[in-house]
Amino acid sequence: MNIVLVVELILYFCLLIGIGAYFSRKDMDRSDFLLGGKKLPGWVLAFSERATGESSWLLLGFTGFTFLTGLSAIWTIVGMVLGISFSWLFLAKRFMNERNKYEVLTLSDYLAVRFPAHGKYIRLLATVLILVFFIFYVGAQLSGVGKTLLTTLNINPIVGILLSALGVAIIALAGGFVSVVWTDMIQGAMMLLVLIVIPILAFIQIGNNDISIMNELNAAGNNVSSWNGGVTGFAFGALFFNNFSYFFGYLGGQPQLSARFMALKNAKDAKIAGITGIIWTVMAFAGAFFIGITAIALYNIGNFPDEETILPTMILDLTPSWISGILLSGILAAMISTATSQIMVVTSSISEDLVHKNFKIELSEKNWVFVSRLVIAITALIALLMALISKSLVLTIVGWAWAGVGSTLSVAVLLTFFWKRYSGIGVIATISSGLIGTLIWINSPLDELLSARFVTFFIALFFGIVFSLIFPEKQDEKLINERK
C-alpha cells in the first residue's frame, strides 16, 4: 500500500468533513438547509451543478466507455454539451424566477404548486419516482469509490464503500445544502484538474514513445477507429440516439441540478453561473474523451476485466505518488459530490414534499432540520446496502436513473414552462408513464437496441400531451394569465 496516497486521500476527506463541520455550527431554517437560503454565489453554484451532474459516470463510466468503443463515443459528448448548454441558457433563470414567484424549495413542489388541484398526487408520484431511481444512483457512487480504492490501493471494495458512505452522510448531515454546495465547488475544481492533466500527460507519453494513435485505434479492432462505430443506416441511427440520449435528461428534469438553478440569487449571478457551467462542461468532456482515446493507444482492453478502472490505472502509471494522491482525490470527489447532492434531493422530497406539504405536519424550523437529518441518515444506510449488493456497472445504473428521473421530469418541466395547455392530469400521466415505461424498458431486450433515456422522454411526452388535451386544466382567469 502506498503511504503517500493514503495520507493524501485521508487529508482530502478531512478537508471535506471539516467544511461540513464548519457549516454545521450555523443556525439554519428549512430553506437554508434544503436550498441555501439565497446566500450562495452563482459561480459556486455552477461548479456544484457540474460536479453533481458529472459524477463517477464521467470519470469512471464514460472514460471506460470511450476506451471500449472509441471515436463513436463522441456522440455522447455532443448530447451532453448541448443539453447542459440549453439548461443554463434557457432554463436556469426561469427556474430562479419561478422559485421566487411560488416560494418553493423542490422541483416536485414546484410542479405541484403550478397545478394545485392535483398537487398532492404530483408530489407523491414525483417522490416515488425519485426514490426508486436515486437510491440506486447514490449506491452507484459509493460503488465507484470502492472500485477506485481497489484499483489504486488494493483495498477491499467493501471497505471503500463503507468509508465513502460515512463521509457522504457526515457532509450532508452537517450543513445540508450549503455544505454540500461548497464541498461540491472544491470537488468540481478537483475533477476538472484530473480531466485536464491526465490527457496532457497521456499525449506526452504517446509522443515520447513514438506511438501513432490512429494506428493503435485501427489495430484495436471493434470499430474503435470509426466515428460511426462501423455501422450505417438504422444501426447507426440506434448508436447515435443511444449515445446522444443523455441530452434529454439535462432539460430541467434532474432535481439535484435544478436545485442549483433555483438557488441562484439574481440575473447577474445566473449569467455568471451559466458561463462558468458551460466552460466547465466543454473542458471536462473533452478531457474525458481524450482519456479514453489515449488509453486505447497505451493499453490493451483485454488486460482490463473492468474497463471502468482505466482512469485510476492511468493516474498511477503517468504520475508520481504525491501527484497521484491529488488526482485520485478528484475521482473520489466526483462520486462524493453526486452522492451528497442526491441524498439531499431524497431528503427534500420526503421531508418537504411529503411530510410537510402533503401530510400537513407543522414543526418548528429547528425540528424540520432535525427531521431532514434523520432522513439523510436513513437514506445513506439504504444506499449503502444497495452498493454492497449491486453488481451492475456504474454507467449502467446512472443510465437507468437518467431515463427514469431525468427524461421523465424534463418533459414535465418543459411542458410546464412552455405549453399553456399542460394540465395537472397531464403531469400525473407524464410521471406515471415515465416511471412505468422505464422499468419495463430497462428489463426488456429492447434496451439493448434503443436506450430507455431516449424512449422514456417520448413516452412521457406523448402521455403528457394526450392526457392534457383530454383532461384540460380548469383555472380561473387569474391563473391563466399567470401561466402565459
Please check whether residue 71 is in contact with residue 220, taking contact to mean a CB–CB distance below 8 angstroms.
no
Sequence-separated (6 or more) residues with CB below 8 Å from residue 67: 292, 295, 296, 299, 301, 304, 307, 310
Take residue 178 and report the three cell numbers written for it.
450549503
In a domain, 297, yes or no: yes
In a domain, 471, yes or no: no
What are the b/e assignments for 363-400, b being 16+ CB within 10 Å? eeeeebbebbbebbeebbeebbebbbebeebbbebbbb
Please tell me the predicted confidence (pLDDT) of residue 479.
Answer: 47
Please check whether residue 94 is in contact with residue 259, taking contact to mean a CB–CB distance below 8 angstroms.
no
Please tell me the predicted confidence (pLDDT) of residue 477.
Answer: 40
Take residue 90 and report the three cell numbers written for it.
434557457
**Residue pLDDT, tens place only, 37-89:** 788 899 999 998 998 887 667 888 889 999 998 999 999 899 989 999 999 99
DSSP designation for 362: -
Count CA atoms within 13 Å of residue 421 on its CB side.
9
In a domain, 168, yes or no: yes
Domain CATH number, residue 309: 1.20.1730.10
> How far separated are the first and last CA of the chain, in Å rounded?
62
In a domain, 406, yes or no: no
For 477, counting Cβ atoms within 10 Å of its Cβ (0-12 exposed, 13-18 middle, 19+ buried), the class is exposed
Total-model pTM: 0.83
In a domain, 422, yes or no: no
d(CA 13, CA 291): 25
DSSP designation for 38: G
Question: Which residue, among 440, 384, 395, has the nearest Cα to 135 in the 3D structure?
Answer: 384
Please tell me the predicted confidence (pLDDT) of residue 483.
Answer: 44
In a domain, 13, yes or no: yes
The tally of domains found in the chain comes to 1
Please check whether residue 33 is in contact with residue 177, taking contact to mean a CB–CB distance below 8 angstroms.
yes
Question: Which residue, among 293, 301, 305, 287, has the nearest Cα to 393 in the 3D structure?
Answer: 305
d(CA 259, CA 80): 19
In a domain, 198, yes or no: yes
**Residue pLDDT, tens place only, 427-454:** 999 999 999 999 899 888 888 788 888 8
In a domain, 188, yes or no: yes
78: domain range? 3-394
Distance of CA 451 to the CA centre of its chain: 18
Crossing angle for the helix pair 394-401 and 452-470, to the nearest 10 degrees: 10
Take residue 55 and report the three cell numbers written for it.
459524477
Give pLDDT < 50 ranges for the chain.
Answer: 476-484
Residue with cell string 505518488: 321
Take residue 244 and report the three cell numbers written for it.
446522444
Residue with cell string 470527489: 333
Sequence-separated (6 or more) residues with CB below 8 Å from residue 189: 47
